[in-house]
Structure 1
Amino acid sequence: MSAALVLLSGLVGLAIGSFLNVVVWRVPRGESVVHPPSACPRCGHAIRGRDNVPVLSWLVLRGRCRDCGEPISPRYPLVELGTGVLFALTAWWTGPEWVLPALLYLVAISVALALIDIDTHRLPNAIVLPSYPVAVVLLALASWNPTGDADWQALVRALIGGAVLYAVYFVTVLVYPAGMGFGDVKLAGVLGLYLGWFGWGALALGWFAAFVLGGVYAVALLARGRAGRKSAIPFGPWMLLGAAFGIVAGEPLWTWYLGSI
């Protein structure tokens, strides 16, 4: 069952990754993600169905448009493959649990938001704001757990975690507005829902890890002369990575820390 779940999740992730390529390109431009159909940005020819198979089509076409022969960025198959791998790893980590749909949704928006933030230094409301109700519904399903014992305390903790992390980032922006934007604040609320659902340790370490990872990256850029003190560095990807760390390792590390003192 678990192997089949991992394989199925990976295949779904490949398809979702193909869609995320569209999201990453169109959402920052305010375009619809469903119409018109995907087309080559250079020659304008619509992409045929057989040329839209994740990863495989890019390999068959040798990374070039069938119509005009212009190169197709390798980022497209990498996003598809990366999303497939992340979906598979998530299914492997959770197993057949009701929290899996919630985490797969988080993985999908994380890929899209990280790439958009790197490209444009923005975290679009079109993705972040709908994630609040979606996350609450999916985490409520996980708390209900139709095939096992319900855990409504986890849902209450999620709601508190979302409010707390939103408030912490909101205060941070007020105190140091040059450090981050309100897009980060809105994303913090979504991540707080997930981190709170997994536990207070996950919430604390997920928040802390984001600043550690972002700080290390900023220092590395400064040391290599690739950024200055006033350079704008997207913080969204580090928030997402920090949340992933908190979800996976936060509670065990928190329990170990409390036990050691």
Structure 2
Amino acid sequence: MVAVIGVLGGVVGCGAGWLGRWVLGSVRRGVVVPRPWCELAVGVAWAWVALRVAAGMPWWWAAVPLLLGWVGVLLAVCDVRAYRLPDVFTLPAYPVAAVLVGVAAVHRPGTWSGALVGALLLGGVYLLVRVLLPEAMGPGDVKLAGVLGLVVGAVSVGAVLVVMVVAALGTLAAASWRGRGAVPHGPVVLVPAWLVTAVAPGW
């Protein structure tokens, strides 16, 4: 039964990935993505969340890693291919994430305090880097940081610090490997943020 749930989650995720790939190619400042990268990535992410739900992840939290898995894949692909994180994805994520955190807060008191601290911490640090070293941090990264801090902080503020360290190390490793040129930061912060929301909660 658990395997069936995982397969169903993967199939639905592939459909969501197909839709996301279509959206990416249709919106202003989007990108054209060849098949089947979005389908596979979202399918794997949603299959994992489905398995976690089958293993006991609360329904009121599952929507968070599902949303982040979908939007995160689209943003990561866009950042890798075009070095930008479009507002059409980052800005609407704020009210949606706030609603989902609000639902979680009904079932888990204290969620809002961690979420707000996380948003201020991650968003504030990224904004500071943008102000002091504008060539090292794009405006899209700053906009994304706030919403990631919100959902990761809902898990724990400590997890926000871990995501920050992992993202910084990932960017340094990517820059060292490439040797020169710009390095997209979006994927290296999106992946650990999603992992926190999809793996860490034991509620």
What TM-score does the superposition give when structure 2 sets the normalisation length? 0.88
2:41 is aligned, of 52, 73, 82, to 82
How well do the aligned residues superpose, as a CA RMSD in angstroms? 2.4
Displacement after TM superposition at 1:186 (Å) = 0.5
Number of equivalenced pairs? 199
AA aligned to 1:239 is V
* Structure 2 Cα separation of the partners of residues 206 and 30 of structure 1: 26
Q: Summarize the Cα distance change of 1:232–1:133 in structure 2 as closer, same or farther, 3 Å threshold.
A: same
Displacement after TM superposition at 1:190 (Å) = 0.8
Of 89-98 and 182-191, more deviation after overlay is shown by 89-98
2:98 is aligned, of 136, 156, 181, to 136
8 Å CA contact retained: 1:213, 1:242: no
What TM-score does the superposition give when structure 1 sets the normalisation length? 0.69
Q: Summarize the Cα distance change of 1:109–1:183 in structure 2 as closer, same or farther, 3 Å threshold.
A: same
1:109-258 map, 5 Å: 109-144=71-106, 150-222=107-179, 228=180, 231-247=181-197
8 Å CA contact retained: 1:201, 1:250: no
**Which ranges of structure 2 fall in alignment gaps of 5 or more residues?**
none
Greater percentage in helix:
2
8 Å CA contact retained: 1:210, 1:243: no
Q: Report Cα offsets for 1:25-69 as digits up to 9, x if no partner.
A: 2224379xxxxxxxxx9xxxxxxxxxxxxxxxxxxxxxxxxxxxx
Q: Summarize the Cα distance change of 1:171–1:221 in structure 2 as closer, same or farther, 3 Å threshold.
A: same
AA aligned to 2:189 is M
AA aligned to 1:182 is P
8 Å CA contact retained: 1:122, 1:183: yes
Indicate the residue corresponding to 1:8 in structure 2: 8
Higher radius of gyration, 1 or 2:
1
8 Å CA contact retained: 2:49, 2:198: no
* Structure 2 Cα separation of the partners of residues 129 and 162 of structure 1: 14
Displacement after TM superposition at 1:9 (Å) = 1.8
Q: Per chain length, whose mean CA-contact separation is higher, i.e. which structure has more relative contact order (CA < 8 Å, sep 6+)?
A: 2
Displacement after TM superposition at 1:2 (Å) = 4.2
AA aligned to 1:99 is W
8 Å CA contact retained: 1:200, 1:251: no
SS of residue in 2 equivalent to 1:76: coil
* Structure 2 Cα separation of the partners of residues 173 and 128 of structure 1: 17
* Structure 2 Cα separation of the partners of residues 170 and 220 of structure 1: 26
